[in-house]
């Protein structure tokens, strides 16, 4: 049963996340990466047989197979995918940054050039649950950014031993250029170093399990990564006017992800807190993924009773949730109180489910409190920015002495000489 605590009883309003190194996980992943780096496809075949239980000779899913899958998926679901893709595209097109040129000043021209990353790898989780939505959320922003080649990797479906046809249909809609059936840490290694069949990429995006996350950590610097995604979490702020049925349903929608997912309610009403706890137990009994959700609710779930709604926002900002639901009347009145949150859901008619699938903003969002300093996946993650500088001869002579003085103060005389040699 979920715990109810008063805010005054909390040792910390935020979440204290101790950094505990899992040496076994680190070493296992490191060994997988090294093997894939050295042995390419042969290592991938070994791990696919070991971890996924299938033997495979060709990892790439053919374009014909993708087209066939698209035709086999239920037509109504294809329409939903296309609607969701259109919403995601519309939202992310507003993130396009074309750089800038400053007005030339005294012979100096400055600016910033935005260039799409040449090749990215999008990791799409699979296995027991097909993360179809992650295909749209990763590939569409990359396409909008102008990425030349989008490489998608995804593990085989646990039942069919192949890629789920809905994932392939989403790949076609989202514009993935090539799709490979491989998952886990070995897929991340293949993207980072390249194999005989899978090309090396410049950046890897997309969520995954602990092995995928650790692999991304270890290859960072060789390639770029979007973020180190942890278990999903939601924090809901509500008062006595909010329907406890809605709150319980939204908390369980996060808890069914996995046992480490976190669902938290912060309310100024003890009466509501008790109603929500009872409703969670009622709804839990009806869930197909009851066991997973129960483990999550019992170990990671929490209901905090605050003194005021303002204190509820203080608690939320310290916890920096991945998903924040403001289930209050006139929710826009509270928007400016939010400092740390990945994605914000306003009002009582806006379940977090909309953000996962159809609304438009990206659902790849900072977890584990990292919304304090990072942002959801966006078009910016698929471009790089270069500054440029031009000095005319006149500007060189005018500004040169300042640069020389600065270089000498840092005892970098060759820097000073590089300017002195050019001065007239």
How many CB atoms lie under 10 A from the CB of residue 235? Answer: 26
Q: How far apart are CA 338 and CA 225, in angstroms?
A: 27
**What are the beta bridge partners of residue 105?**
108
Cβ–Cβ < 8 Å for 246, 327:
yes
Q: What are the residue numbers of the active site?
A: 322-323
Q: Give the integer Cα–Cα distance in Å for 261 and 301.
A: 8
CA 323 to CA 200: how far, in whole Å? 33
| Those residues with Cβ within 8 angstroms of residue 20's Cβ, 6 or more apart along the chain or in another chain | none
Give the C-alpha separation, 371 to 53, whole Å.
37
| Residue in the block written with tokens 């914000």 | 344
């Amino acid at each position: 049963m979920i715990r109810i605590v008063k805010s005054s009883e909390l040792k910390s309003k935020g979440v204290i996340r101790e950094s505990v190194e899992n040496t076994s996980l680190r070493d296992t992943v490191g060994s997988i990466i090294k093997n894939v780096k050295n042995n390419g496809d042969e290592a991938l075949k070994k791990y696919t047989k070991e971890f996924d239980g299938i033997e495979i000779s060709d990892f790439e899913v053919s374009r014909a197979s993708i087209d066939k899958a698209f035709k086999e998926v239920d037509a109504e679901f294809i329409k939903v995918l296309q609607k969701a893709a259109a919403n995601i595209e519309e939202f992310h097109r507003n993130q396009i940054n074309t750089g800038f040129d400053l007005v030339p000043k005294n012979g100096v021209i400055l600016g910033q050039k935005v260039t799409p990353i040449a090749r990215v790898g999008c990791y799409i989780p699979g296995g027991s649950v097909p993360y179809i939505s992650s295909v749209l959320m990763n590939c569409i922003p990359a396409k909008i950014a102008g990425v030349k080649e989008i490489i998608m990797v995804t593990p085989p479906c646990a039942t069919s031993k192949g890629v789920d046809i809905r994932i392939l249909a989403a790949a076609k809609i989202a514009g993935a250029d090539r799709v490979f059936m491989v998952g886990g840490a070995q897929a991340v290694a293949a993207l980072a170093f390249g194999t005989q069949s899978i090309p090396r990429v410049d950046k890897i995006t997309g969520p995954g399990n602990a092995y995928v996350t650790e692999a991304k950590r270890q290859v960072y610097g060789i390639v770029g990564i979007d973020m180190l995604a942890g278990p999903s979490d939601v924090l809901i702020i509500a008062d006595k006017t909010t329907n406890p049925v809605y709150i319980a349903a939204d908390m369980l929608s996060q808890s069914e992800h996995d046992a480490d997912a976190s669902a938290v309610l912060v309310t100024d009403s003890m009466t509501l807190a008790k109603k929500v706890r009872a409703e969670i137990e009622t709804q839990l009994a009806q869930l197909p993924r009851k066991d997973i959700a129960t483990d999550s609710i019992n170990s990671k779930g929490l209901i905090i009773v605050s003194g005021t709604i303002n204190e509820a926002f203080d608690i939320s900002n310290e916890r920096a949730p991945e998903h924040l639901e403001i289930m209050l009347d006139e929710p826009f009145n509270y928007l400016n109180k939010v400092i740390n949150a990945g994605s914000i859901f306003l009002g009582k008619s806006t379940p977090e489910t909309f953000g996962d699938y159809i609304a438009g903003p990206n659902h790849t969002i900072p977890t584990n409190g990292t919304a304090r300093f990072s942002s959801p996946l966006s078009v910016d993650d698929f471009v790089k920015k270069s500054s440029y500088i031009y000095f005319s001869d006149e500007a060189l002579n005018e500004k040169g002495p300042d640069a020389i003085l600065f270089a000498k103060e840092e005892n970098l005389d060759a820097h000073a000489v590089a300017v002195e040699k050019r001065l007239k």
